[in-house]
Amino acid sequence: MTAPVATSDPARTPLPAILKHFPKTSLQALKLTATILPSQLLQPHDYSEMSDASKAAPAAITLDNYVLSESVGYLISRVRSTMWNMVTQHTTSELGITSTQASIMFMLAVGKCTTAADIAREYGIDASAVTRLIDRLERGLLSRARSEADRRVVRLALTEDGRAMAEKVPAIFTSVLDQLLTGFSPEEVGFLKNMLRRILANSCDPSAAALLSGTDKSGT
């Protein structure tokens, strides 16, 4: 007689520690074998009661059924704008500069950006906007110099006063994030970062390589 094959009991299999922070209905959704398409997440669902048929044939997304508060893209955008506004409040009152200017100074300080072209790529803005930002910072905080290796390239560097101001920026970034992540466990923060890195990986953006490896120092 052939011995019965041992099978694991899903009900008794311990869940990863991170999952203890999720509502029960969300945990039940993990038992579903079919894939939930990203577009389906634009509408509110009770995932514990979704049938395979409903997951396989999502309704067409229209203005009538598009729920903005369920859009991952919208939520990410709102978090980003809220965080940036909070940073600006601090940098304006404490340093006298905007959050973007403070971030650029930080990028220069850690060596992430060294030219106007680097800044344009990092922030997704055009050359004229970068020039205006640099012009404002050049008043005692930033200097320009021709590269010795290639005279066509203009290198950006912080002055002594600029460096001293840049040293204050990480504390501002940290204080804002501490407020926004109130109640998050270290495990949840790590989980969140991993999910954001997966989104970046799906974008196939080569400039995100350092972020995906977790070795990049710059940014909030």
User: CATH number of the domain that 83 lies in?
Assistant: 1.10.10.10
Q: Is pTM beyond 0.75 here? A: no
Q: CA end-to-end span of the chain, whole Å?
A: 63
Nearest-angstrom CA–CA distance, 92 and 3: 73
Q: Are residues 95 and 57 in the same domain?
A: no
129 within 8 A of 119, measured Cβ to Cβ: no
Q: Are residues 62 and 146 in the same domain?
A: no
Nearest-angstrom CA–CA distance, 85 and 33: 41
Q: Are residues 149 and 55 in the same domain?
A: no
Q: Is 85 inside a domain boundary? A: yes
What is the span of the domain harbouring residue 146? 72-213
pLDDT of residue 16: 46
Q: Are residues 208 and 170 in the same domain?
A: yes
Q: Is 139 inside a domain boundary? A: yes
Q: Are residues 124 and 163 in the same domain?
A: yes
Q: Are residues 202 and 94 in the same domain?
A: yes
In tens digits, the chain (220 residues) has pLDDT values of: 555 545 545 445 454 444 444 445 444 444 444 444 555 555 555 545 555 544 555 678 888 888 888 888 999 999 999 999 999 999 999 999 999 999 999 999 999 998 999 999 888 888 889 989 888 898 899 998 887 777 788 899 999 999 999 999 999 999 999 999 999 999 999 999 999 988 888 887 776 666 666 556 554 4
Listed residues 36, 70, 104: the one ending a domain? 70
Q: Are residues 48 and 151 in the same domain?
A: no
Q: Are residues 117 and 29 in the same domain?
A: no
Q: Are residues 163 and 60 in the same domain?
A: no
pLDDT of residue 69: 85
CA 103 to chain centre: 15
Task: Report CA dihedral (207, 211, 217, 220) to the nearest 10 degrees.
Answer: 100
Q: How many domains does the chain have?
A: 2
Q: Are residues 59 and 81 in the same domain?
A: no
Q: Are residues 125 and 189 in the same domain?
A: yes
Q: Is 12 inside a domain boundary? A: no
pLDDT of residue 26: 42
Nearest residue to 91 (alpha-carbon basis) of 5, 187, 170, 183:
170
Q: Are residues 178 and 148 in the same domain?
A: yes
Tokens 């320009």 -> residue: 144
Nearest residue to 91 (alpha-carbon basis) of 125, 127, 141, 159:
141
